Amino acid sequence: MPCYVMKCTECNAEEEFILSTPEERPTKCYICGAPLKQVFAGPPALRFNGPGFWATDSKKEKTDEN
């Protein structure tokens, strides 16, 4: 699920929200009620789990016979 960092336009409070795709992003600051804007800090963090993502996962060892 994507993580969004939102920043208040008035009091500069920042909050992270982990939302599923159909959920709407919050629009008001939880402290002062002012509008929020999304902060773009960089590329999203990706995490690959499971076999096949690392060079050592599916490598076959070479033998002298091959």
What confidence score (pLDDT) does residue 40 get? 80
- Looking at the chain, the whole-number percentage of residues with pLDDT higher than 70 is 59
- Looking at the chain, the whole-number percentage of residues with pLDDT higher than 90 is 21
Sorted by sequence, the CB contacts under 8 Å of residue 8 that are 6+ apart come out as: 14, 29, 31, 32, 34, 35, 36
pLDDT digits (tens, 9 = 90+) for 34-65: 999 988 866 666 666 666 666 665 555 666 66
> If you average pLDDT over every residue of the chain, what do you get?
76
- Domain ranges in the chain are 3-39
Predicted TM-score of the model (pTM)? 0.53
